Chain A
Amino acid sequence: MPILRLLLGLPLGLVLVGAVAYPSLILVWHAFTRDGRPTLANLAAVLHDADIWRVLWNSVHVSVWATLLGGALGTVLAFLVARTDLPGQRIFRTAEEPLFRIYGAPGIILVLALAHYPLAYFTVLASLERMDPALEEAARSSGASPARTARDVTLPLVAPAIGAGAILVFLRCMENFGIPAILGFPAKYFVLTTKIYATILDFDRAHNLGLAATLSLLLVAVAGGSIALQRRILGGRAYGLTRAVGQPPIFSLGEWRRTVGIGVTVFLLATSVAPLLAILLTALTRAYGMPFGWSNLGLQNFHTLFFKVPVVWRAMGNSLVLAASAATFAVVLAILIAYVQVRTQVRGKGLLEALVILPFAVPGTVVALAMILAFLRPVLGLSLYNTIWIILVAYVARFLTLAVKPVAAAFTQVHVSLEEAARSSGASLSRSVRDITMPLIRPALVSGWFLAAVPAITELTLSVLLWSAGNETIGVMVFNMHEEGKVLLSSALAVVVMAVALTSNLLLRRLTSGLAEA
């Protein structure tokens, strides 16, 4: 069916080439050319710049420490929850992203670690919960004490998960922009992502975009190296732990049970609730620097925000429209991509998958730079730069893979024989898709839409580089207000953003849990 193939292929090809392949190639091109001529001058300039080496060292320094801290926190917490009689375990299964105000490297390390330790926690937790309880029971039967069992059996078996979780934390720390930007700029402390940002905006510097492109490739190389390392760890030593029936053996905390329980609760409150509370209190403060007290609290900042700063409404409108449009585009594309991936045998499926994952796998700063370089000048007569469209293109590219995952899973579950049964009952192809396939994958479309939309609402890394006057997003507004020293207003807006993010997260969780039941 050539028409069908064209119908499927054309929009897919257009988006993946235009929004992913072309910007990627342009980024590489800019890194290795100057004034249209191939050269290694950018690379040489970067490698000879002592400042860059310090920035690279900063990146690795904060990420490694944050990884050690976050990995340790996550692993210990996962073990306590999955393997001990810690009281109130069920409550400890969610964690929100905290945000502190501590400037400089120690602050960045602490906040990165606290923001990302849930990645290590959930990776290790999943591994512990998948492990056949009989493996540990066999050790106990053999005569091993609980501590000995943990050392000889449990720990070696979850070691790959600990390694994989730590690398995930490292990756997220390396590519994080918001935390080192907020905490690093006042102390003039730069990491790779913030250095790329600063280089792009450093219009006075010659070849600033080429240098930024080269730095981006450096960042991608570090990230790619860690992904390769993670694959190796998981590929070589994943034990294919299968879940068997039964409760895992519990290592009794004995007399420490209460103390550890209180400690974990205090830690989680201090790292998740307290920062939110701090932001809320700042947002409610009438005058910054005045003594704290009831008289100094009020809704004044929200009043100013909503009635005196018209740009706030525009930013919120922009973010919501961008998130909704990007999610809608992403879901439509996800249907096509999932169909090709699951139901067809065309060549180049690997390339398709790579192009879908690429914009999410590389740091957001790199994606933003690639978009700038690709659309700085009009392409095919279309001028995207300095418009809201460039942000939309970037969002679709970045969040596409989030929508593809549930839709592809749904296509895998809806066996092709269901469609075939409709066809042999007398339904046409389009009729069978409408009557059988679509109703069955509809829940996946809804959850795919939310999965793509939720991170887009609070997005900062892409929009902070791509915004222009009139096209601000909420993330950009919070960031800019904070940079301008309007701490009270930015906190008030942050409270609004968190409320929106929390609501959409709850909505998403309800939707996905409903899916799991079905």
Chain B
Amino acid sequence: MPAVELQNLWKDFHSVPAVCGIHLSVEEGELLALLGPSGCGKTTTLRTVAGFEVPTAGEIRIRGKTVSGPGHFVPPEARNVGMVFQSYAVWPHMTVEANVAYPLKLRGLPAAERRERTRRVLELVQLPGLEFRFPHQLSGGQQQRVALPRALHMEPAVLLLDEPLSNLDAQLRKEMRLEIKALQRRLGITILYVTHDQDEALTMADRIAVMGSGVIHQMGPPEEVFEEPADRFVAEFMGCTTFLPCEVAGVNRVRLLLGEEAPCVACPLPSGVSGRGVLGIRAQEVDLIRDGSDALTGRVTLRTYRGGSFEVRVQVGKHVIPLITTTPLREGDTVQFALGPVRFFPDVSCAIPGEVPQATLM
């Protein structure tokens, strides 16, 4: 039985759709990341699971029990879900201990047991000795470490994390990623994790669901989503920065349409595909070569140093292709290169779903 199941979930705000009939299930002990740009409906989805939004249609089940469905709505306090907010939402009028112990207090645990469990869980997140501090005496990272155990130690069916790291500085964010991941493995918690940061999703998630405009574009393990993006939208989110126009030229061959030049390159294609489309390229996958069957030729227009390597822009016809190399090229040099693993997206999937304004979604 999945920990969380969403069936055909719809949510409109003033008849503007934010979530458009998504299906999703999170297995016990799994960390599923909802990844997408702001306004894609990921936070709305999370909030319907928490019980802060009433879905327009569809059903939500937590451990097999329907918490939201036609004519049926369980309020947030009765859902047994833990939530960590982007703003941490640590209550400023309560001490660290009072914050963390609050859910236990509501469940009627005796004071001694509350104190003991709070002490243990604060140790778990490396925050011992700060029990009697008030939130304004803590740093942002420490506040985050209060919000986490508060949501965690009532042993919720699922832990909902809403961009929990986006207010932290880059270094702390990386540490906290690993810490949350380690905690999830150790305690076997089920986590539904909302983020707009693909690195965060790739490093932490067991599975990623890429969302845009209220629909899930692709769902799968991080490697799969990264290596085989289902469409141009996912590819762009997964670091494909350059898209070159092309057309199918044969079995696993495409012809690039770069102005006067029209070189052919190898590209894995699904059977039966034809016509025009685009090739998605990542700068770090483009390699300089001396000679080769699929080599392209271009002129270096800009070189920037990025510490240990150079980012180079190569002009081919009317198009600019970025590549990363340790070879100290000069601007004006003519180079040969191969595109590396490329992904073909037929024209129909070129359109990037338009974004709904954030204000109507939040």
Q: Show the binding face of A for B, using Cβ within 8 Å.
A: 132, 134-135, 137-146, 148, 152-153, 156-157, 239-242, 244-246, 249
Contacts and interface: CB of A to CB of B under 8 A. Distances in A.
A139 B102 contact: yes
Given A140-B51, A141-B82, A144-B77, A239 B87 contact: no
Interface stretch (B88-96, B123-131, B293-301, B310-318): B88-96
Q: Which 8 A-B pairs have the closest CB atoms?
A: A134-B89, A134-B85, A142-B103, A140-B76, A138-B89, A239-B92, A141-B83, A143-B106
Nearest to A237: B93
Nearest to A249: B52
A245 B362 contact: yes
Contacts of A244: 86-87
Given A134-B87, A137-B50, A239-B93, A142 B362 contact: no
A139 to B, nearest CB: 7
Contacts of B88: 134
Nearest to A160: B93
Interface of B: 50-52, 75-83, 85-89, 91-93, 102-103, 106-107, 136, 147, 150-151, 154, 160, 358, 362
B83 A138 contact: yes
B86 A141 contact: no
- Of listed A143, A239, A244, A246, residue having the most chain B CB within 10 A: A143
Nearest to A142: B103
B87 A142 contact: no
B85 A137 contact: yes
Nearest to B93: A156
B139 to A, nearest CB: 15
Contact of A143 (B86, B107, B147, B160): B107
18 contacts: A134-B87, A134-B89, A137-B50, A137-B76, A138-B85, A138-B150, A140-B75, A142-B103, A142-B106, A142-B154, A143-B77, A143-B106, A143-B107, A145-B75, A145-B77, A157-B91, A240-B92, A241-B92
Contacts of B52: 137, 140, 249
B51 A142 contact: no
Contacts of A144: 77, 102, 106
A246 B93 contact: no
A249 B78 CA distance: 15
A152 B92 CA distance: 12
Contact of B362 (A137, A139, A148, A246): A246
Contacts of B76: 137, 140-141
Nearest to A135: B89
A141 B87 contact: no
A512 to B, nearest CB: 23
A150 to B, nearest CB: 13
A146 B75 CA distance: 9
Given A139-B102, A142-B154, A245-B362, A157 B92 contact: yes
Nearest to A246: B362
A245 B167 CA distance: 14
Contact of A132 (B50, B80, B87): B87
A222 to B, nearest CB: 30
A142 B78 CA distance: 9
Contacts of A246: 362
Given A138-B91, A142-B102, A143-B106, 18 more contacts: A132-B89, A134-B85, A134-B86, A135-B89, A137-B52, A138-B85, A140-B77, A141-B50, A141-B81, A143-B154, A144-B106, A153-B91, A156-B93, A157-B92, A239-B136, A244-B86, A244-B87, A245-B362
Contacts of B50: 137, 141
A127 to B, nearest CB: 13
A112 B3 CA distance: 58
A158 to B, nearest CB: 10
Nearest to B83: A141
A141 B93 contact: no
Nearest to B53: A247
A90 to B, nearest CB: 15
A239 B150 CA distance: 20
B77 A142 contact: yes
Nearest to A238: B92
A253 to B, nearest CB: 15
Nearest to B156: A141
